[in-house]
Amino acid sequence: MASAKKVKKGAASAAPDFDKRNYIILGVGVLLIILGFVFLAGGDITISPILLVLGYCIIIPLGILLPKGKDEGVPLDADKRNVVSS
């Protein structure tokens, strides 16, 4: 007798819900990390740790943890507002 796995309906997917803004922030973090390693290879031990810490500890987590941006534009209930005219 084979046991079947039950999948809950409406279960959250494991894929991250990223927006264009999240990908831009992650890209900036990766560029900072690459730039930090380039400076480290060049022998600059002052700026390279700063860039690496910024990339690894601030920018990358910020890009992951920021929520997906909200749509800008006219709210759905804009036409339902009561406008008092004089």
Q: Rounded to a whole number, what is the distance in angstroms from the first to the last CA of the chain?
A: 76
Residue 71 lies in a domain: no
Q: Is residue 80 in a domain?
A: no
Total structural domains in the chain? 1
pLDDT higher for 72 or 64?
Answer: 64
Outline where 1-86 has alpha helix (H). 20-42, 47-53, 60-65
- Maximum CA extent, the chain: 76
The reply to whether 4 falls in a domain is no
- For 27, the domain range is 20-66
In this structure, is residue 10 part of a structural domain?
no
pLDDT > 60? residue 64: yes
pLDDT value of residue 25: 96
What pLDDT is stored for residue 40 in this prediction? 97
